[in-house]
Amino acid sequence: MILKKLILKNFRQFKGTQEIEFAFESDSNGRNVTVIFGQNGRGKTGIFRAIMFCLYGEHLLSQDEGVAQKELHLINQVALDESASDTEAIEASVEVKLRHNGGNYSVKRTLLGVKDGAVEPGILRLSHTDADGNTHNYEDPEKIKELVNQILDKNIREYFLFDGEKIERLTRASVEQRKEISKGIRNLLNVDALEKAVGATQRLKKKLSQELAKKATGNFGKVVHQIVEMDEKISQLKTSCQSLEEEYVLAGAEKKQVDIQMEAYTEIRSLLRERRDKENELQSQQDQAKALLLDMKSRIGKSSQLLISDTVEHVFKQIDAKKQKGEIPSEIRQDLIEKLLSDHLCICRRELIPDTEPFKQIILWRDKLSKADLDNFALDLWRYLSGIRSHNEDIAGIAETLLVKYGSRTSTIESLRSRIEKLNSEIGTSERKDAAELETQRARIEEKMIRIEARRRNEQGELAALESEMMQLAERRKSLEKEEQAKSELSERATLAEGAVQLLQTVYEEFSSEIKVKIAHEANLFFEQLLDREGRETLKEIVVNSDYSLQVLDRWGKPFLADISAGQRQIMSISLIAALAKVASVSEVMEIPLFMDTPFSRLSWDHRRNLINVLPRSCAQWILLVTDTEFSQQEASLLKQSGRWGEFYELQSKGAGFSTIIKRDIPYTQLNLRESLEAHA
């Protein structure tokens, strides 16, 4: 997807019709960077908001947490105030023109509002002109939603259209958020298609097994019946787990709704704010504790070797002593002896005749070779034990660090829980009866969420047990099929379908892990290029976990995420985004825009310089919404030198609640930007 044009009408600060044309890679001059420059309050985030509103119909952004939708005015207030009467409707609209997979799209969404604040959705239209020039128009919101999600999945939109100050949240995403992100990434990388193929083959396998169960007899028949029953139980449990997950999300949304209603009670507003902050912090601490548990899970196996470190040391030293004394390795080379015997030629090039003395001598050497094999064996073992010994200290160190960090997280979690409990009781005993009632309702929802989570965990445990039992039954079925010669065309088809499911599952797993390895590799390449020198010295690599959450390892290979700076977190997140876009793009250059709102504010000059040097070369489009404090003469000059800067807009204030978008020439940036702004003002 490439953004071509944005047309705004009476949207947020932008009164009347105003537009921005974005630079992108296939422009004749190869310039692909657009800078939208404005001081705080001029409407930079309004532009970001406009794109989100137009494509996804969203009124609120993730940064609007705690703001009720009705409190946010999308229709320009000045236009509303100027309307002739209280009942005259003012139209606000956003139109996004974009290019995707060789086709051109135009999405337009409007809102109608009147002076008293009432707002209604207006038209929604998507027009698509394909590569052959045929145009298709859509007005069905569901169809438009589907098409937009195919262009850029809603679950991962914030990967590519993001707020720089919040982007580092990617490294702190909650478990629920990660699930959504993971789903969106799978969609982006087309892993979803493979998942669907696995599902379809599974259904075929089930159908054939059911048919087979009707016809099979004897012990074989019994096992086939058991398999069908167990298959049914497994799919029921899977459905149940899924609906429990959905129920949990719904309960969460219900709780959020109650929280919004409670915000109306000013008496308890500060308590509510504190509770929301504490709950967010609790969630983040719980997520970090869970990540630590996952890390521990992957390290117990390796840590077990610490239990026999004395044995490793002892055996290593014994072999090492033999090695020092020259007792191993034996100097006799097996390949040489085999060659002498097969060529019937001695080392001195004389013929080797069986039963002669030289021949017997070589046979004696060959017999000695069994000892040489053992020597080689001992040498290999020496190498492995040497590696194990050298890692023992690190393994113990990492285990200790993980345990200490986990301990500290759990104690923070405990104190947060006790503070939240106290806040709950203070809010619950509020003098406002209706507020207290809402609080009781909220407590009930929370209890429900705890119950759902416990049930889900139970069912997942049951599911894991059933799946392993199923594998045993499948093995048993195979051996009975041979014993009872129960082979038939149907059973062969059922076996084939089962084989196909396993094969597809393996392909899926290999593909997913290959993709993850590729993403991690690309992310690390970007990370290395984007980090400043200090970061490069401290941090070794990014690890992309199975759920696409991130970890970073320090130079000793220890997890270091909790200790890195906000700027480094931002660089980590940008590296992952760039890697995702690159892996998802067919060409070398990522065909996905990077749309960044205030990207530089937390970054050091070195980080800014690296971003400006690296990103325009790696992506088809880079759109920057910047303030005067983060985009100075230094950044502007560097960007100009890159030769990639294609479009430049300035947001200027025309009074309260009214900004205009002014297209500027690039050379303008050679002047001091701040001084220029003042001159214009």
| Residues of this chain that bind other proteins (CB under 8 A) | 293-294, 296-309, 311-312, 314-316, 318-319, 374, 377-378, 380-381, 384-385, 387-388, 396, 399-400, 402-403, 406, 454, 457-458, 460-462, 464-465, 468
What is the closest distance, in whole angstroms, from the C-beta atom of residue 382 to other proteins in the complex?
10
User: Could you give the 3-state DSSP secondary structure of residue 659?
Assistant: strand
Alpha helices in 531-552 (DSSP H): 533-538
Work out how close the CB of 214 gets to other proteins at its nearest, in angstroms, rounded to a whole number.
30
- Closest to other proteins by CB, 316 vs 631, is 316
Quote the least distance from Cβ 42 to other proteins, whole Å. 49
- Minimum CB–partner distance for residue 241 and other proteins (Å): 12
Nearer Cβ to other proteins, position 307 or 656?
307
Residue closer to other proteins by CB (options 316, 526) is 316
Nearer to other proteins, 231 or 295 (CB): 295
* Smallest distance from other proteins to CB 467, Å: 9
Helices and strands, counts by H and E, the chain: 18, 14
Whole-number minimum distance, CB 275 to other proteins, in Å?
25
CB of 238 to other proteins, least distance (A): 15
DSSP string, 88-156: --EEEEEEEEEEETTEEEEEEEEEEE-TTS-EEEEEEEEEEE-TTS-EEEE--HHHHHHHHHHHS-GGG
Q: Could you tell me if 46 and 13 are in contact, meaning their C-beta atoms sit under 8 angstroms apart? A: yes
Buried b (16+ CB within 10 A) or exposed e, 338-361: eebbeeeebeeeeebeeeeeebee
Q: Minimum distance between the CB of residue 660 and other proteins, rounded to whole angstroms?
A: 56
Minimal distance, residue 561 CB to other proteins, in Å? 18
Which pairing describes strands 33-37 and 119-129: parallel, antiparallel, or unpaired?
unpaired
- What's the min distance (Å) between Cβ of 370 and other proteins? 9
Of 464 and 507, which CB lies nearer to other proteins in the complex structure?
464
Nearer to other proteins, 505 or 601 (CB): 505
Question: How many residues are recorded in the chain?
Answer: 681
Give the span between the Cα atoms of 228 and 489, in whole angstroms. Answer: 18
Tokens at 435, concatenated: 């507020």
> Which of residues 311 and 440 has its CB atom nearest to other proteins in the complex?
311
Which lies closer to other proteins via its Cβ, residue 154 or residue 302?
A: 302
- CB-nearer residue toward other proteins: 308 or 336: 308
Question: Within a 10 A sphere around the Cβ of 598, how many other Cβ atoms?
Answer: 23
Taken in order 545, 551, 554, 556, is the CA torsion positive or negative?
negative
Shortest Cβ 323–other proteins spacing (Å)? 13
The 10 Å Cβ neighbour count of residue 421 is 10
Beta-carbon contacts of 509 under 8 Å, excluding residues fewer than 6 positions away, are none
Pairing of strands 103-113, 594-597: unpaired
Nearer to other proteins, 329 or 428 (CB): 329
- At closest approach, how far in Å is the CB of 299 from other proteins? 7
Q: Pick the closer one to other proteins by CB: 350 or 457.
A: 457
Sign of the dihedral through C-alpha 530, 532, 533, 539: negative
290 or 536, CB closer to other proteins?
A: 290
Which tokens go with 385? Answer: 């034990």
Which one-letter DSSP state was computed for residue 619?
Answer: B
Q: How far is the CB of 451 from other proteins (least distance, A)?
A: 12
A 10 A CB-CB count for 212 gives 23
Beta bridge partners, 104, equal: 99, 129
Minimal distance, residue 76 CB to other proteins, in Å: 51
| Per-residue DSSP letter, 657 | T
Bridge-based pairing of strands 622-626 and 119-129 is: unpaired
Q: What are phi and psi of 9, to 5 degrees?
A: -135, 120
> Based on CB atoms, which residue is closest to other proteins, 169 or 456?
456
Minimum CB separation of residue 319 from other proteins in Å reads 8
Which is closer to other proteins, CB of 402 or CB of 438?
A: 402
Nearer to other proteins by Cβ, of 353 and 465: the residue is: 465
Nearest CA to 252 out of 175, 168, 169 is that of 175
Nearest-approach distance from CB 311 to other proteins, in angstroms: 5
The answer to whether the CB of 202 falls within 8 A of the CB of 501 is: yes
Closest CA relative to residue 299, chosen from 395, 391, 404: 395
Q: For the chain, what is the largest distance between any 2 Cα atoms, rounded to a whole number of angstroms?
A: 122
Q: Which residue in 157, 152, 40 sits closest to 598, CA to CA?
A: 40
State the SS3 of 503-529: HHHHHHHHHHHHHHHHHHHHHHHHHHH
Determine the 3-state secondary structure of 353 from DSSP: coil
Q: Which helix (H) or strand (E) holds 192?
A: helix 191-215
Which one, 124 or 463, has the nearer CB to other proteins?
Answer: 463
Residues in a beta bridge with 94: 8, 109
575 CB-contact burial (10 Å; exposed 0-12 / middle 13-18 / buried 19+): buried
Q: What are the respective helix, strand and coil percentages of the chain, to the nearest 5? A: 65, 15, 20
Beta bridge partners of 284: none
